Every structure is written in C-alpha cells, then in structure tokens.
Chain A
Amino acid sequence: MKNDLLIKICMGTGGLAAGGSEVMDAFKKQLRVKGIKADISKHCSIHRVGCRGLCAKDVLVDIILNNVKTTYQFIKPYMVERIIEEHVINGNPVEEWAVTEDYHQFHNKQIKVVLSDCGNIDPEDIESYLNVGGYDALKQVISTMSPKDTIEIIKKSGLRGRGGAGFPTGVKWEICFKETSSQKYIICNADEGDPGAFMDRSVIEGNPHAVIEGMIIGAYSTGADKGYVYIRAEYPLAVERLKKALNQARQNKFLGKNILGKKFDFDIKIKLGAGAFVCGEETALIASIEGQRGMPRAKPPFPVYKGLWEKPTVINNVETLANVPYIIRNGAEWYSSFGTEKSKGTKVFALTGKIKNSGLIEVPMGIPLREIIYDIGGGIENNMAFKAVQTGGPSGGCIPADLLDIKVDYESLAQVGSIVGSGGMVVLDENDCMVNIAKFFLQFTQSESCGKCIPCRIGTKRLLEILERITCGKGREGDIELLEDLANDVKATSLCGLGQTAPNPILSTIRYFRDEYEAHITKKKCPAGVCKDLLSYVVIAEFCKGCGACKRVCPSSAISGEKKAVHKIDPDLCVKCGACFEACKFKAIGKG
C-alpha cells in the first residue's frame, strides 16, 4: 500500500515563538532517519503554513495520512519521533496529543473568507496559492471586466473598510476612478498599531498573495499604477513574506508592465513604518511615505482627491483588500449573504486577554458577542467571572456583561459606545480594574499624540493626569464630571481620529463602571485589586501553612516567618508586586 503523507506545521509568529521551526527540523530529521524503513518519504511533503487562529495551542501540526487529517496541539520536537513511529508508520494516531473538543468548537461557529486559506497554504510559495484558485479573480477582472464592472461588484457586496471607519470600499474606489489625474496611487495600510490587534499581521503572514491580488484589482479599478504597502517594522516576518510574495508575483507577470499581456502596468513597493501609531491615520501615513514626520492634516480634501504627492490616492486596509479576490471569485451576492443589513460579510477579530481559546477568529457580522466569548472563545480563563470586552483598542470602548447579547456589527457596537475598530477584542475578568484599563489606553494615546493640535496634545495629558491621581488614591470629588467634560471637548475639537477617539475608553468605562471610579475616589479602594497605591497585602493566618513559597519569591525581603509557622508581610518593605499572591498555593495571601 502506498502512503500519502502531508505534514503541516503552524509557523506564524505564534507558531515560531512556540518552537515551530525546531518542530519542523525534527520532522525532517525523523523522516530522514525512518524514511528507508517506512518507504513514505517519497510521497510526503512538509509545509509551513501561516496562522490558523488558535495560537494559544501552538505548535499545531496537521498530519494528513491518506487523506485523513489528524491535528496535534502543543507539539515539541521530542514528541515528533513518537508521532512518526506510531501514527505515520503504524497508522495509530497518538490520541493523547491530538486536539480536543475545544479546538473544533473554536472553529465551528466561524465563517472563513479572508482566513479561508490561511493555515492551509504555504505563504512562501505562490504555487500553493495558485492551486486554491489564487489570482483567478485577477485574471477574470483583467480579461473580462471593466473597472466600472469591478467597482459595481465591490459596491454590491457591501464590503466596508476593515481598518475601523467602515467606509464602503466600492464607493471609495469609484470616487478615485472618476478623478481625472494621470497619476494615481493605491496604498495598503498595514500599520496595525492598535495594541491587542494582529489581524493584518496574520493575514500577511498567512496569505500575502491575497492582499497583493486585492491591491492589483484595486489598482485596475481605480486607475492607479503605483502601489505602496505601509507596514510596521515591528512585524519582521510579515515584511519578509510580503517581499517574497511580491517577487513571485512579478515573476508570474501579475505585477510589472503589461500585466497578463494586457495594457495595464502596476507595481508595489514596501514602505516600512518607523513606529508611530498616528501613522495609521491616512493623512499621517501619507506624510510618512513622503518621508516626513507623520502628522495628520485637516480633511477635506480627502486623500482620494488629494493624497500622496497631492495625487488621488486610495487607502485600504489589509483585511479589506484580502477580501476582494474572494468576492470577485464567488460573487457579490455570496459575500453579502453573510452579515446584517448594513454590515455585510465577515470580520476578523483578534480574541485575546483572559479567554480560554485566544487567537484569530473570523465571524459573520452580526454574530452575538456571547457566542464569540463562550462558544468560540470557550469562556473565561481559570473560570473567573467575565467583566467586559474591550473592542477597538485605544479608540474603542468596553462592553459589560449585561450587554453580552448585542450583535457585533458597526451599528450595534457604536450604539453602546464602542466600535468594531480594526478588530481587537480583549477580554477582561473580575481581576481587571477598569480605571486602570482607561489609564493604560490614555498613556498610550498620550504618548502617541503627534502634538500638532492642542486638544489632543494637552487634552490627553490632562485626562491622563486625572486618571493617574484617581488610581493612586488622590482622586478628588468632581473628578468624574471633569473627566467627562474634558473628554467630550477633546473628542469634539481634535484634528484627527486619534484625538477624536482617544477619550472613548474613559467615557465608556465611566458609563458602565462608574462605581469603580467612585470606589477609587471616595473609598480610596481598587475593587479589582490592581491599583498598587490602593492595595495592601496581608497573610491570612488561618490558611498559611508556613511553606515559605511567598518568602522565596518576595523581591524586597518583606516577608518573614519560621518554617511551618504563619508568615508576616512588613508593609513598609512591601513593594506590592503581587508575587506572593501568585506564589501562594493555599490562598493565604489577601489583598485589598
């Protein structure tokens, strides 16, 4: 009997960090060693694949033996030999290392469009993309459709900008198409700056050609002949894979002069971001590509009329562009069959924080938040109580437990004071302090404010100062009202999206967790036990076994006590790091 073997190893940033390349080496070695005996090496191939979503269980490995797929989780190099021995040679999968029910549950409620090929194909090999229908959409567009036809399909599909603002993509393309300039540009915004978001990184690492194909179709539809991908330098793997993919696309005549033999020239350059969050704002991004400080300017004129070097410029987000080939291939009706009336299609979210199955997910717009958290995400880590989901990063807001049944789409989230944003979803549990979370985001936006306009430059600073004094126990009566007042002013008067949305985390946490603010200000207490200055740690005598675990981890030697006797924390020496709290197995450290 001939064996057909395919091994797929997850090697996105998550997979690599968990040891993906070592696992791959181990497989290569073991196949070599065992190859002669088993006679399978001829028919097997090892693929690297991009992210398949559930990074928390990396390294994930698929063994596809005679078309039967078994997926393994948490694979380390030492496990490879046994897998080869028992599974590949003897045909008995190693059940104890295979993925469990929650892996399947994680995938069951998802609908994958953008991510459909991520984790399946080899992102460093164009053939792999071509084999699943890659570049078919481009061929179809160039040989049978006019730019107008293409724009019409995208408009009909209802695709909206996935970077956060949600502007209809087809409409943007149409405006650019109608501009009469001889020079136009298309830019792919891969400056994924929201902390807690990694959709764009994963798409580029897992399927760079889909983004490139979407961009070429965008260029064809709008009349652009030069493209730029503005990508964060913090994503070295994505940059490398994108570079490779661009070269392969050029070799296959999908980029360059006379693409696919037609009178259509287009090429793409990579521009590396230099670490400024504000450059995700389109006019700042343009300034950065031009080589200047990335400072936004007033709009209008919008970039689609006057953008890069004053020429009409379409700027689309990575995920938006990666949707395009699939929409063209499957039709506008197919795409718009997913989602709600106003928010069509699917959206990729980065589900992280205190959640069991953290990772990358793609769901139809309008899915209830509860299903994301409990069905896909598997609930809260360590069986803690759910407190809130923070969506949209520093521009977004929190959604508390009693709103868990809302639908996730542009309109519904906006109604409750949050946003879909670029797709970050950070789950918070009972141990997270909402004032601290608001402070975290304000620290971020304050340090990333470019300083051009006063409301943002000084307003965020003052907002942060108020939050700092609240969290260190110096909050004053009236601070909440002052925060609200100032936050609304900053929102209303800032020049760009950064300042206009920076107060959102404050306003939304006050809206749903006002009592926590009050506890900080009036009682000088942090109910979640996070804010250091409002905390003290004590040993609870009745639980303490005198094991000394706390004493050993204490960095400031604040804990004393004989073996098997109740220990004591010296409050003057304690730096409130919480190490003892985590080290104690008997819950004998109390904080409050």
Chain B
Amino acid sequence: MEKTLEKLYVDYENNEGNIISLLQDIQNEFGYIPEDAVNWFSVKLDIPASRFFGIATFYAQFHLAPRGKNIITTCCGTACHVKGSERLLNGLIKELDLPEGEHTTTDKEFTLEKVNCVGACSIAPVVIINKKVHGKVSADNLMKEVRKLKDKEVEK
C-alpha cells in the first residue's frame, strides 16, 4: 500500500492536485477509500483527516467501504422513475438478498447502487452492470443477467 500511496503523492504534487482529485485517485487504485490511506496522506500533507472525510462523505461518488466484485447501478432519474426503476431496484434487492440498509452482499460478490441520472433517458429504464449500459430493461431480463453473473461465480 505504501508504495502505491507514494506514487499517488508524486502525481498529486506534479499535477497541482487537490483533495478531491486525490480521493478520486485513491479510489481508482483501491476501489474505495481506505481509512489508512487517508491517515497516511493526512500526515504527509499536514491536512487534518477530517477534511478528507468531510469531502469524501459530501460527494456521492466516494465509498468508504470495499465494494462487491460486480457493481450494479440502477438509474433513478425522472424518466427511469416513471418507467418503473423503483420496481427494478426492489427486484434486485430481493434477488441479491441484500441485508436491510446494506449495498453490498455478505459474500462481497455484488454491490447495488443508485445513480441520479446517467443521461440515457430515451432508453429508460437503464441499469448499468459492470460498466455496461443496459437500456429498456425489463424485470425479467435484468434478473436473467444477474443470475448469469451469479452462476459465473459458482462455476469459479
């Protein structure tokens, strides 16, 4: 970890970085914002860790806990909302058996997230599965896709 952080520090210094870009880099590297990484930078840059956490919790993009191997993002924009995104979301929670209030399954295979709008409204409702955008999603098709991913995990 130390080595990676050193590298990020050099990038930060070279690119007149700020806390947001630094947090984005940390997240790109680790998939989330580890507390140790924040503490390391806090000492290195002499910026209180609270400033980092203040920013990390302000923006929706930052995650303070590790996420699952598969990331499913349901769009909850207006167009998706009127086309039934809420039902897709509830279906996914059920299918993935997510514990109440959690976003990641206990086996860390899946993380379910909401996004305000991905701007693909004319193919609403939209679900993004591992960065691939799926448009005009029906509950049936979506569950099939998710089950395919589940089977893959079992095969391994």
Chain A interface residues toward B at CB < 8 A: 13-14, 16-18, 54-56, 58, 192-198, 201-202, 233-236, 271-277, 288, 290-294, 350-354, 358-360, 390, 393, 424, 426, 428, 432, 437, 440-441, 444, 448, 450, 555, 577-579
Contact = CB atoms under 8 A, between A and B. Distances in A.
Given A352-B79, A393-B78, A58 B123 contact: yes
A55 B135 CA distance: 10
Interface residues on B, range: 35 or more
Contacts of B119: 13, 192, 197-198, 201-202, 234-235, 350
B122 A440 contact: no
16 contacts: A14-B122, A14-B135, A17-B133, A196-B117, A197-B119, A198-B119, A235-B119, A272-B24, A274-B20, A274-B60, A277-B116, A292-B20, A294-B59, A354-B82, A359-B122, A390-B78
B123 A196 contact: no
B121 A352 contact: yes
B122 A293 contact: no
Nearest to B79: A352
Contacts of A197: 117, 119, 121
Given A17-B133, A440-B78, A578-B87, A291 B121 contact: no
B59 A353 contact: no
Interface in B118-156: 118-124, 126, 131-135, 139
A55 B120 contact: yes
Interface string B58-86: 11111000000000000011111111000
Given A198-B117, A276-B59, 17 more contacts: A17-B133, A55-B123, A196-B121, A201-B119, A234-B119, A236-B131, A274-B61, A275-B60, A275-B62, A353-B82, A353-B83, A432-B82, A440-B78, A441-B78, A444-B116, A577-B90, A579-B87
A292 B87 CA distance: 36
Contact of A352 (B24, B115, B124, B134): B124
B20 A196 contact: no
A408 B154 CA distance: 55
Interface in B11-42: 17-21, 23-24
Contacts of B83: 353
Contact of B18 (A54, A291, A444, A577): A291
B121 A275 contact: no
A276 B17 CA distance: 19
Contacts of A271: 21
B79 A196 contact: yes
Nearest to B132: A17
Contacts of A18: 123, 135
Contacts, number: 145
B54 interface: yes
Given A276-B60, A294-B58, A354-B82, A17 B116 contact: no
A352 B78 CA distance: 9
B94 interface: yes
Given A14-B120, A274-B61, A393-B78, A293 B54 contact: yes
Nearest to A277: B116
B31 to A, nearest CB: 15
Residue from B17, B62, B82 having most chain A Cβ neighbours under 10 A: B82
A577 B135 CA distance: 21
A390 B94 CA distance: 31
A12 B132 CA distance: 13
A426 B82 contact: yes
A360 to B, nearest CB: 7
Nearest to A291: B18
A99 B36 CA distance: 57
A198 B82 CA distance: 17
A277 B119 CA distance: 14
Contacts of A424: 78, 121
A37 B68 CA distance: 50
Interface string B77-112: 111111100010011001000000000000000000
B73 to A, nearest CB: 9
Contacts of B19: 291-292
